[in-house]
Amino acid sequence: MRHRFGIGVAAALLAIAALASASVVYGSTVIPFADVIASLARGLGLASGDAGPIDRIVVDLRLPRAILAIAVGAGLGVIGLLLQTVTRNDLADPFLFGLSAGAAAGAVAVITRIGDRIGIFTLPLAAFAGGMCATAVVLILIRRTQGYGPERLILAGLAVSFLFTALTNYLVFSGDQRAAHSVLFWTMGGLGLASWRNIGIGIAGAALVLCYALIRHRHLDALLGGEETAESLGVPVARLRTMTFLVASFATALLVSIAGVIGFIGLMIPHVARPLAGPLHGRLALTCALFGAALLLGSDLIARILLPPQELPVGVVTSSIGALFVVSVLLRRKA
């Protein structure tokens, strides 16, 4: 198992490095790798010369976008792992609990009703507020049904997801129809908002959930044996489940507020990582972070070069990969 884990980590790191380099080079305009290196050197102050249009594309647009893709992919991968563990449901991800739907409702309210009243951070703040509202509703429902296990958590999440999805649809159809394209692109995910001013939001969300998973990995491991076993080992299961959901919700709100609604990464990545890292959360959380970063980097690269000069929402790519993944799992289990 250690051998497979080491190979998986090394392969993921190489894939991240290669995909990050490709994402800076390729796009609607292909920039030679030598020019990329020169632009980065000027941006870091290691070379002299005046900054030109290529420098702006490389340093101000593509590089922060690659960093944001790494952060968001890593965060969503670990969030999916945490939610699947505490609910003991292999299909759990931020979509299932209404977290993404709440953030989408907040963002759509800004796009169709309010506008950029407070500048560039209006959309991220609204999405974050929507995500936390959805979290609050789910936690209230959980508290009212405390002691009924993870299945009630899932039902509460589904109810909240349907509620905020209905609210989003209402805002779209009753609001400014000229904003429909922006709404569609944002609700299907995209990294076009990435800049040096806001990528810290994505990095903070990924760091929060990964640090939590690594600090609580022994308690999370105990849940694998069932709630009774975990309680006998001194793990406060109800409190751990609530805290884990709260951390996952907060991190999801941060990530969705800057990258939109990107599906299936939280669902797929834990299933891909477990055969290589094993079931224990110390190694598994790190592997999920690396695999999630690589998947979103690759998906964003495909979304940018598939239909130039247009850019597809990255959620179209991740959903397509996710559908193929689920079908392959079903066929493999049938066989």
- From first to last of its 335 residues, the chain has per-residue pLDDT tens of 677 888 889 999 999 999 999 999 988 788 888 888 888 888 777 677 666 788 888 989 999 999 999 999 999 999 999 999 988 888 888 877 787 888 888 888 888 877 666 666 777 888 888 888 888 888 887 777 555 566 777 778 888 888 988 988 888 887 666 666 677 777 888 898 889 988 999 999 999 999 999 999 999 999 988 888 888 888 888 889 889 988 998 898 889 888 988 989 999 999 999 999 999 999 999 999 999 999 999 999 999 988 877 888 999 999 999 888 888 877 876 55
For residues 80 and 73, give the distance between their C-alpha atoms in angstroms, rounded to a whole number.
Answer: 11
Q: Residue 176: its pLDDT value, please?
A: 67
As a whole number of Å, the CA-based R_g of the chain is: 20
Looking at beta carbons, which pairs linking 208-212 to residues 24 or more positions away fall under 8 Å? 208/75, 208/247, 208/250, 208/251, 208/254, 209/75, 209/78, 209/79, 209/82, 209/247, 209/248, 209/251, 210/74, 210/75, 210/78, 210/285, 210/286, 210/289, 212/82, 212/244, 212/247
Q: Residue 123: its pLDDT value, please?
A: 77
**Which amino acid, one-letter code, is at 285?**
A
Specify the CATH architecture of the domain 2-334: Orthogonal Bundle (1.10)
H-run or E-run covering 109? helix 99-109
Question: What's the angle, vertex CA 57, arms to CA 52 and CA 60, rounded to 5?
Answer: 100
Matching residue, tokens 């969030």: 79
For residues 78 and 187, give the distance between their C-alpha atoms in angstroms, rounded to a whole number.
Answer: 21
Q: Which two tokens stand for residue 297?
A: 């980097």
CA distances from 237 to 108, 141, 192 (A): 36, 18, 40
**Which amino acid, one-letter code, is at 162?**
F
Which is nearest to 75 in space by CA: 187, 212, 274? 212
3-state helix, strand and coil shares in percent for the chain, rounded to the nearest 5 = 80, 0, 20
First to last CA, the chain: 25
For residues 239 and 294, give the distance between their C-alpha atoms in angstroms, rounded to a whole number.
Answer: 33
For residues 55 and 62, give the distance between their C-alpha atoms in angstroms, rounded to a whole number.
Answer: 10
For residues 113 and 69, give the distance between their C-alpha atoms in angstroms, rounded to a whole number.
Answer: 29
- Give the SS3 label for residue 86: helix
Q: Residue 11: its pLDDT value, please?
A: 93
pTM of this structure? 0.90
Burial of 307 (0-12, 13-18, 19+ CB in 10 A): exposed
CA distances from 307 to 23, 27, 54, 310, 313 (A): 15, 10, 21, 5, 11
Which is nearest to 71 in space by CA: 209, 217, 270? 209
Q: Which two tokens stand for residue 93?
A: 């991800």
- What one-character-per-residue DSSP string does 130-171 give? HHHHHHHHHHHHHHHTTTS-HHHHHHHHHHHHHHHHHHHHHH
Give me the residue spans of the domains in the chain. 2-334
